[in-house]
Amino acid sequence: MLAFIIFKRFHKDIPAIEENTISVAATAKVIIRKPTFILLTLAFACMVFVNVGYLTWMPSFLVDKFGLTVTNAGFSSMFYHHVGAFAGVLIGGRLADVLSKGSKRNRLYIQSVALLLGAPFIYWMAMGDTLTVVYVALFLFGLFRGIYDSNIFASLYKIVRPYMRSSASGLMLMCAFLMDAFAPLILGILKPTVGLSRGLSLLSISYVIGALLLFVAGYFYFNKDKEVEI
């Protein structure tokens, strides 16, 4: 009690500094004018499209092609991929932090290269003739996905002011997930015609498209759209 009295005697309450606030709609009006944001969102949608399709159908693929039990297929389809992703986020985060000291847009280039290098392993994940090939492909697919994932928001925040970042993140996530809800449906439609193996292998195209979008964003628009760091 004595300490409180002494504190009140010698310290006056200082009101909190009012921060800038902005509505989601106002944020959307600002960021929609930035080509880098549009391209980052589309690239993110390409990645999530693959991820949703893979998560939905990979266990069924392992059951149908290799005769695994549902339990083993569910575990194997996730475990090897996410071990790779665990390593990837650590590698990608550190690599981007170092390389971005030279140029902030290097984060986008790292993401672009990660998607491009991950694409062949999505193909081999689906087209491999042995479980060993499939599991190695799953691991490397996860590794490069993790490198991409580690810079999703770090790249976005370079072009968005601090008081808009949560709203901008939500808008990017919303747009991507709305588009990517169709991935399981499309693979389900392809299954009777081209087969699940071929359908999953075609997901690699989405990674290539995402890689190109990120390269365009970094090379042509990032320097114009980036915000001054505070």
Mean pLDDT of 121-148: 97
Percent of the chain with pLDDT over 90: 77
Residues 200-205: what's their mean pLDDT? 96
Buried b (16+ CB within 10 A) or exposed e, 67-92: ebeeeebbebbbebbbbbbeebbebb
CA distance linking residue 194 with residue 169, whole number of Å: 36
Local confidence band at 230 (pLDDT 50, 70, 90 cut-offs): very low
Cβ neighbours, 10 Å, residue 197 = 15
Please give the Cα distance from 162 to 185 (Å, whole number): 37
> What is the pLDDT, as a whole number, of residue 28?
85
What does the pLDDT average to over 127-152?
Answer: 97
pLDDT in tens, 24-38: 888 888 888 999 999
Closest alpha carbon to 39 in 136, 176, 205: 176
Q: What is the pLDDT of residues 89-111, one digit of tens each?
A: 999 999 999 999 988 899 999 99
Instruction: State which CATH number among 3.40.50.1860, 1.20.1250.20, 3.40.50.620, 3.90.78.10 fits the domain covering 26-225.
Output: 1.20.1250.20
Tally Cβ neighbours within 10 Å of residue 149. Answer: 20
Residue 135 contacts residue 76 (beta carbons within 8 Å): yes
pLDDT interval class at 11 (50, 70, 90): low
Mean of pLDDT over the chain: 90
Phi-psi region of 67 (alpha: psi -120 to 50; beta: other; left: phi over 0): left
pLDDT band at 20 (very low <50, low <70, confident <90, very high): low
Question: What residue segments make up the domains of the chain, in order of their start?
Answer: 26-225
Residue 217's CB: how many other CB atoms inside 10 A? 28
- Residue 8's pLDDT is what? 54
Q: Are 36 and 167 in contact (CB under 8 A)?
A: no
7 pLDDT higher than 50: no
Hey, what are 54's tokens? 């893979």
- Residue 17: count other Cβ atoms within 10 Å of its Cβ: 5
Give the pLDDT of residue 4. Answer: 47
Yes or no: say if 140 and 118 are a contact pair by the CB < 8 Å rule.
yes
pLDDT(140) > 80: yes
| Residue at token pair 């949703």 | 52
DSSP state of 104: T
